[in-house]
Chain A
Amino acid sequence: MSVVSGAWTWLTTGANWSGEGGAWHRLGEHVYVSGVALVLACAIALPVALWLGHIGKGGALAVNISNAGRAVPVFAVLALFMLTPLRSAGYVPTIIALVLFAVPPLLTNAYVGMREVDRAVVEAARGMGMSGGQVFLRVELPLAYPLLMTGLRSAAVQVVATATIASMVGQGGLGRIITAGFNTYNTPQVVAGALLAALLALVVEGLLVAADRLLSPLRRTVPSSG
């Protein structure tokens, strides 16, 4: 109980939120590296996955990348980067590591989403005279959307979690509150930092679930038909 009240005291102490090592600064770092990495990962993975899914090739690639992404420890990749000249490049090593771990879920889910579109529907669209581009934009993409969003959500969760681990190799983000607490044997601070990191992950997941519902291309047709 004393740890819980200690963590609460830490969280409600204004001094812990301000300044260079304060929680606001750490939160800003966390959101910044996560956001940049997620955008970069989408820019890399989605065009490749959607193109491969559209032409129906590269299934083995999508599966193998996903398996490899699971087997490689995030901590190891971050540690390896910190022993290269990248270590003096600010947020760059963290962002590269985050992108590497965000690509597999995006790639695999988008690819599977495209491949699971009913072939009969695609054939029907072609029979109606749709071009390859039209089939992609108006048939395959809307039908692949749910899995696309699933991929985006797991990538975002992965990115936020990975950004936390970056603190173990001395990089910024909310994890730094945790590691700093460990270094000074300050358990309330460790728990407070952990609560913030967990809360951020849950908020990101919640926002993406909400965005998924709002943006779903299939949702719009429901009210008009009813």
Chain B
Amino acid sequence: MSTGWAGTERAAGSCLAANDWICGEYIRSRSQELTEATVQHVWITVASVLIGVAVAFPLALLARARPRFAGPVLGLTTLLYTIPSLAMFSLLLPFFGLSAALVVTGLVLYSLTILVRNIMAGLEAVPAEAREAARGMGYGPARLLWEVELPLALPALMAGIRIATVSTIALTTVGALVGKGGLGNLIDDGVQTTFKAQVLTASVLCVLLAAVADLLLLGVQRLLTPWTRVRTAEVKVR
């Protein structure tokens, strides 16, 4: 028994020594490091997307209420999206220093493009009859927005949030430039020390994180818009 255990231990340890791509011993021995990096990755992503939505929403409303702002708002967010991520983070360096705030700010600026577009598209797609009916029932502008337009725009808004979240998870890795890249830090460290297991594990975790986030948001969308589910179910029955 004891020789067998020692044998597996040696085999497990040797995958680190041999610098294998897949190494269970790496995941076991560095689980704390991996968890910390994943936690940092998640909170940077969540903060960026939440702030992104909070900024994009008023921008989209402004562009809708004052059509002459629509062009500049869309143009500016598209312009921001054109700037390479590494350059964006570097341009923010004088303002934020080597901090997570730098990475979050950069990611927020990127998420604006997709979020503003989707919120505007969602609000534009609200049927005029629904709006008229609500006005006829005496809804004021705020209540109209909150109780009629927003729920109807929700599928487009959620689609935007899903795309923004998945892209943000991928882009967070570039934050390794300032040491605040979540799993990107492990990739950065691994590439400099040619540590294959670390680079592959962190990369796979990034993709898994994006897939899980996408599915979770899809679930949230289903929960928030039960009427769309009923409609598709009816179509299937027919």
> Hey, which bits of chain A sit against chain B, CB under 8 A?
3-4, 67, 70-77, 79-80, 82-83, 157, 160-161, 164-165, 167-169, 175, 178-179, 181-182, 187, 190-191, 193-195, 197-198, 201-202, 205
Contact = CB atoms under 8 A, between A and B. Distances in A.
Which residue among A72, A167, A194, A205 has the maximum number of chain B CB atoms within 10 Å of its CB? A194
A76 B184 CA distance: 8
A191 B94 contact: yes
Contacts of A205: 82
Contact of A194 (B82, B87, B176): B87
Interface residues of B, number: 41
B87 A164 contact: yes
Contacts of A202: 79, 82-83
B212 to A, nearest CB: 11
A75 B174 contact: yes
A140 B200 CA distance: 43
Given A191-B93, A193-B90, A76 B82 contact: no
Interface string B146-177: 00000000000000000100110111111011
B86 interface: yes
B194 interface: yes
B199 interface: yes
Contact of B82 (A72, A79, A157, A191): A157
Interface in B120-151: none
B87 A73 contact: no
Contacts of B82: 157, 198, 201-202, 205
Interface string B12-46: 00000000000000000000000000000000000
